[in-house]
Each structure stands twice: as C-alpha cells, then as structure tokens.
C-alpha cells in the first residue's frame, strides 16, 4: 500500500498534527513500508472469528463490576486540575479564541 | 554498603540486625545514583528527597516495632511513564517536560506502602514507543554492560538502573515487549505479568488493552517479591483482576521435576545462532532438572507483528489525542484553537510518536477500519487461541526474547519497520495477555547478555517464577 503525500496530509489533519514538508515525505515512505507489510493479513481467512478487543480469561467478563459509588479519591479540586495547564485563569483553562464575533 | 550488591532479602536482614538504617541506604543510594547516572543517562529525574523521606518513615516504623512492608528500605527506580505525585513525570517527551502529576499511580502507592525508596524516574522511549530507548527527548540510555550499545526499549532506563546497580529493583511497562527485551539486553530479570494483574491506574496510557506494569530485578526472587507487593485488584482500574495474589517467592521454590515445557517451533526457525546456542544450553539445563520438552506450534505467529502494530498504534492515536496544549503544560502559540492543537502536537511530539499517531489514525479512518483494525482484532483472537491450545498440552513455553543481543546505538534507528519486526517474540504475549518474563541465560562470545523467555497461562505467575528460579539456581 503506497501512501501519497496528499493522503499523508489528510491523515495529519485528522490527527491534528502539524507536519513539515520534509516530515510528510519521510512519513509517506515509512508508513507505506509498514502498510505494505501489513497487507499479508488479508491472506489469512478470519471468517467467523469474533474480534478480540480486550484480554479474556474465565472471570474477566465480571471482573470490572463494582458498586455504583462516588469515588472521592479520584476527584481533583479545581486548583490541582489546573496546575499543569498551559494557561489558566479564574478557575478555567484558557485557550485561543474559538468563536469570532 | 554497596548498593549495587544489595538484594531485597539482604536489606531485610541488614535492617533487622541493625547493620544499617533505611536512612543510610537512602543516603548511599542517592549518592551512588548521582555519581553513576551520567555514564548511562538511565534516570531522567533523581528524587533524593523522596527517598530520604521514605527511609525516615521505615526507620520510625522499625523503631516502633511495626512491619514496614515487603520492600522496606529497597532503592527502586520508576519508569517515567508511571505517575508520581509531586515528582516530574515526563514520559521522555518534550510535551510533558514540566508535568508534575497530582496523584500517584496505584503501583507507586503500593511501593510506598511497602516502604520502598524511590531513587528516580527512569528514562525510556517517548510515551514508551520504541525498542531501543533512542526515542527519548532527554537523550538515549547507554547499556551499562556495553556503553556503545542500546539498553533496549522502551523501558531501557528501568533495565539499566538495575544492571548498573543504582537501584535494587525497578518498575517498567510493557506493551509489546518493553520489559522483557531491555531485561534481555542488560542481563537482568524482567517480568510482564498477566494483563490486569497490576493496576494501570496512573500509568500514562499508550495502548490500553496491551499496557502492563511489571518489575525488573537482578534476581528472580526480587522480581517475585516486587510483583507480590504491587499486584492485585484496584477499584481505580476496571480491567484489574480480582484473582488473589499468592506468595510468588514461596511458591516458586518447589522443584520443576515433571513439568512439561513447550518449544514453539515458529520462534526458533529463524533464530540467529549466537542466541540459539544459549537457549539450547538453557533447555538442556531445564531437562537436567527433570522437565520434559516437546515441540509446540503457534501457527499465527507470523501475523503477530502486523496485528500488534495495527492495534497498538490505533489505541495510541486515541490515547495521545489528549495532548492538545490545554491541560498538560506545553503549548505552541497560534491565532485559533485548531491551529494551537496542531502546532503544539507538531512541535512537541518526537518522530516515532508522530509516526504511530499517523499509522493509528490511518488504520482507524473511514474506509480502512474493517480492513485493518477489525481484521487485526480477529487475528489477535487467533493468536490468543494458539496459546490457549498450547497450554492444554504443556505447562510453560520457552522462547527467545529477541533475535539478537543489544545492538549499537544508531544502528537501527533509521529503519522503523526493521525495528518493529525484531519485537516478534515478545509482542505475542502482550496480545494474549499472558504472563511472560525474561531471565538471563548467558552471554554471547562478544560478552553481550541474552535472556530466555518463559511464558505461562493467565495468572500462572507462580509456575513461571518457579521455572525461572530453579533454572537460575541451577545455573549459579
């Protein structure tokens, strides 16, 4: 599977990733190589095989059930939640303007 | 006291007999780490105050006759993708260079409850993506055994600190071999437990269905004790397993006579001789201990690398979406929000992270989802079934960890596909979620360490440690 630079540009936009022209060229070559290798999967017949999204062992289906209770331990206060932000003020994250008016 | 010679049991004995205090261990470990770290760059951040504070707590508990825990006074390194409250956690990325987590990972909390001394945050590949530790924004780690070679990756720093002796044990993480491969390259023990055996809460997510936290140590016993301390159900990780945690260090002391070991023929077909001869010698040793050996087939092995790199990059592209310039310290300036996201990610992610985000976004994108992602999930089911069938015939599998010993810094970095293909023997275990470990089995003629991999069925860690421990004792 050969990926063109235009396709790379489209995927980069989907991923919200700014790439330079040089990066896009390198990316097209690297990803094409990996995707070509991945094509061998198409030769394997997987008709009727249930996709595996998660590791399965005998009691794994019920392993994640718990009482429906508030877990205060994982609640961060406003100050702690904002502490690592790039920019904050008045108890909020600050971002560049979203809506023009 | 020589920190590089200490073990968990020698520390316990020394504390009990008052040969030294925990504070003395912390002071000496801090000094030694500061002195030795420039040689290898194995730690990104040293945490001397945290080690001293933990040591004082241990000494107070001993003074008052309380049990200070399984890891009391044990100097430990923590991979820098595992959250530590108040201690910078960079994930070896410029993006998190100044990130200080507001909470501890559950595994770290358990280290603290057991009295461990956190010496520092170990270097790794950026967001744990890589097999050589060369993808760190803070520079590569040098292998303590041979300084011109890589320590392996992604947990290269965690393996190096234990090999170098600046920690007695360490925590790493494994998504496709990131504990076992560096353990093999640095000549130490590295353990990937059953998926869900150790809580992932606070482990910065790479590929959530594949991520594991696990121990590095110089001996099988120390690795077993560390796993015992950190394993178990955690309500903060819905995928953590409820199965009780046995005393691995006790159970592994049973002999291995009569155990049936399987040799997956697909793993040995193309194995280079320098690694192969060491594994054959190890197998003869295990047979001499009374194990029987038989050939096993894992027929879907050849599809594993493709399957893994589809699933892992797909999950990574979703997990890394959170680094958008808003919540996590680094931001590039831009006139509007969407360009701010794009510039931040373009400017601060390294080349390998970008490659995996792109690959993952592509395989999940409209029109390709069924051909890649869904197909890979089906192949994953077949790989897991191969293992399930194998464990119906044998108790454990013996395999190589990596086709080669540690390679030279810079040797493979230009070719990502070649680097991915070398993960073939380790990433299958992660796909199936079974426990697997690397235990040293000798050095090549060039003096480079090689590990033997032991794999068992889900939650059969005791059996895995038993094979490793009896082999280690017989070899010694």
DSSP string, A47-73: TTPPP--S---TTTTTTT-------GG
C-alpha distances in Å from residue B465, one per residue of B364, B457, B462, B472 = 38, 12, 5, 10
Give CA–CA dist B270/B308, Å, rounded: 20
Residues 172-211 of B with CB under 8 A from A: 194-196, 209
ipTM score of the complex? 0.94
Give the residue from B45, B130, B71, B25 showing the smallest Cα distance to B351. B130
Give CA–CA dist A82/A89, Å, rounded: 9
- Assess contact for A18 and B347: CB atoms under 8 A: yes
Structure tokens at B306: 């493709």
Task: List, for residues B243-260, the tens digit of each pLDDT value.
Answer: 899 999 999 999 999 999
pTM over 0.90: yes
Q: Which of B102, B371, B380 sits opposite A83 (nearest CB)?
A: B102
What is the pLDDT at residue A72?
81
Give CA–CA dist B164/B25, Å, rounded: 16
Structure tokens at B136: 């760190």
Structure tokens at B143: 């292998």
Structure tokens at B449: 């360490």
What is the pLDDT at residue A73?
78
Residues 299-338 of B with CB under 8 A from A: 300, 302-303, 305-307, 309-310, 317, 321, 324-331, 334-338
The alpha carbon of residue B408 and the mean position of all alpha carbons in its chain are separated, in whole angstroms, by 21
Chain B residues with CB-CB distance to A80 below 8 A? 102
Q: Which of B330, B335, B375 sits opposite A41 (nearest CB)?
A: B375
Residues 209-268 of B with CB under 8 A from A: 209, 235-236, 238-243
Give CA–CA dist B108/B114, Å, rounded: 10
Task: List, for residues A33-90, the tens digit of each pLDDT value.
Answer: 999 999 999 999 999 999 999 987 777 666 667 778 888 878 889 999 999 999 999 9
- For chain B, what is the mean pLDDT? 97
Chain A residues with CB-CB distance to B375 below 8 A? 41-42, 46
C-alpha distances in Å from residue B435, one per residue of B30, B177, B179, B198 = 33, 12, 12, 11
Give the residue from B97, B43, B364 showing the smallest Cα distance to B207. B364
What is the pLDDT at residue A56?
79
Strand ranges inside chain A, DSSP E: 88-89, 92-93
- In Å, how far is B268's CA from the nearest CA of chain A? 21
Task: List, for residues B203-224, the tens digit of each pLDDT value.
Answer: 999 999 999 999 999 999 999 9
Chain A residues with CB-CB distance to B347 below 8 A? 18
- Assess contact for B400 and B453: CB atoms under 8 A: yes
| Inter-chain touch A60–B337, beta carbons under 8 Å | no
Chain B residues with CB-CB distance to A33 below 8 A? 416-417
Chain B residues with CB-CB distance to A44 below 8 A? 300, 303, 379, 382
| Inter-chain touch A40–B349, beta carbons under 8 Å | no
| Closest chain A residue to the Cα of B96, Cα to Cα | A84
* Chain position carrying tokens 């979620």: B433
- In Å, how far is A90's CA from the nearest CA of chain B? 15
How confident is chain B (476 residues) per 10-residue block, as mean pLDDT? 96 97 98 98 98 98 96 98 98 98 97 98 98 98 98 98 98 98 98 97 97 98 98 92 94 98 96 96 98 98 97 98 95 94 98 97 93 97 98 98 97 90 96 98 97 97 98 95
Sequence-distant (6+) residues with CB within 8 A of B413 are: B132, B134, B419
Give CA–CA dist B365/A8, Å, rounded: 12
Give CA–CA dist B473/A47, Å, rounded: 47
| Inter-chain touch B372–A85, beta carbons under 8 Å | no
Give CA–CA dist B213/B189, Å, rounded: 14
What is the pLDDT at residue A58?
73
pLDDT beyond 80 at A101: no
Query: Which H or E run includes B268?
Result: helix B265-268
- Assess contact for B113 and B74: CB atoms under 8 A: no
């Amino acid at each position: 599977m050969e990926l063109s630079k235009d396709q790379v540009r489209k995927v980069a936009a989907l991923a919200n990733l700014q790439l330079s022209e040089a990066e896009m060229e390198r990316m097209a070559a690297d990803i094409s190589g990996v995707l070509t290798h991945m094509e061998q999967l198409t030769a394997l017949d997987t008709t009727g095989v249930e996709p595996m999204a998660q590791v399965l062992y005998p009691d794994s289906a019920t392993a994640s059930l718990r009482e429906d209770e508030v877990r205060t331990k994982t609640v961060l206060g406003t100050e702690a939640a904002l502490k690592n932000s790039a920019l904050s003020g008045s108890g909020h994250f600050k971002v560049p303007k979203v809506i023009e008016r | 006291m020589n920190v590089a010679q200490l073990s968990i049991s020698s520390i316990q004995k020394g504390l009990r007999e008052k040969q030294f205090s925990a504070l003395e261990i912390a002071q000496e470990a801090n000094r030694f780490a500061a002195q030795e770290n420039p040689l290898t760059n194995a730690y990104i951040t040293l945490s001397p105050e945290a080690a001293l504070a933990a040591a004082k707590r241990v000494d107070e508990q001993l003074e008052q006759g309380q049990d200070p825990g399984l890891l009391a006074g044990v100097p430990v390194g923590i991979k820098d993708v595992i959250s530590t409250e108040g201690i910078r956690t960079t994930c070896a990325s410029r993006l998190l260079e100044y990130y200080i987590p507001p909470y501890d990972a559950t595994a770290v909390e358990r280290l603290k409850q057991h009295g461990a001394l956190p010496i520092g945050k170990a270097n790794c590949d950026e967001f744990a993506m890589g097999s050589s530790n060369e993808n760190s924004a803070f520079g590569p780690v040098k292998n303590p055994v041979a300084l011109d070679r890589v320590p392996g990756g992604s947990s290269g720093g965690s393996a190096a600190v234990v090999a170098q002796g600046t920690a007695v044990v360490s925590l790493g993480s494994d998504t496709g071999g990131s504990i076992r491969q560096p353990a093999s390259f640095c000549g130490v023990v590295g353990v990937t437990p059953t998926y869900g055996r150790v809580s992932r809460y606070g482990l910065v997510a790479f590929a959530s269905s594949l991520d594991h936290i696990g121990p590095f140590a110089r001996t099988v016993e120390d690795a077993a004790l560390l796993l015992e301390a950190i394993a178990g159900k955690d309500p903060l990780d819905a995928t953590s397993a409820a199965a009780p945690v046995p005393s691995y260090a006790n159970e592994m002391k049973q002999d291995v006579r009569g155990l049936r070991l399987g040799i997956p023929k697909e793993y040995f077909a193309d194995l280079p001789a320098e690694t192969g001869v060491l594994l054959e010698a190890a197998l003869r040793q295990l047979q001499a201990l009374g194990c029987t050996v038989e050939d096993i087939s894992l027929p879907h092995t050849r599809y594993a690398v493709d399957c893994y790199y589809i699933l892992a990059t797909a999950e990574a592209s979703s997990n890394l979406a959170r680094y958008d310039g808003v919540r996590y310290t680094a931001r590039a300036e831009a006139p509007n929000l969407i360009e701010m996201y794009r510039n931040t990610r373009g400017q601060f992610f390294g080349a390998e992270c970008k490659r995996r985000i792109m690959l993952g976004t592509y395989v999940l994108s409209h029109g390709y989802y069924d051909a890649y992602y869904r197909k890979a999930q089906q192949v994953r089911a077949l790989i897991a079934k191969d293992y399930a069938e194998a464990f119906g015939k044998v108790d454990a599998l013996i395999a190589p960890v990596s086709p080669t010993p540690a390679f030279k810094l810079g040797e493979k970095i230009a070719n990502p596909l070649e680097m991915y293909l070398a993960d073939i023997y380790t990433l299958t275990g992660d796909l199936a979620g079974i426990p697997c470990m690397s235990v040293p089995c000798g050095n090549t003629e060039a003096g480079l360490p090689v590990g033997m991999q032991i794999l068992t069925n889900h939650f059969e860690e005791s059996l895995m440690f038993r094979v490793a421990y009896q082999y280690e004792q017989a070899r010694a």
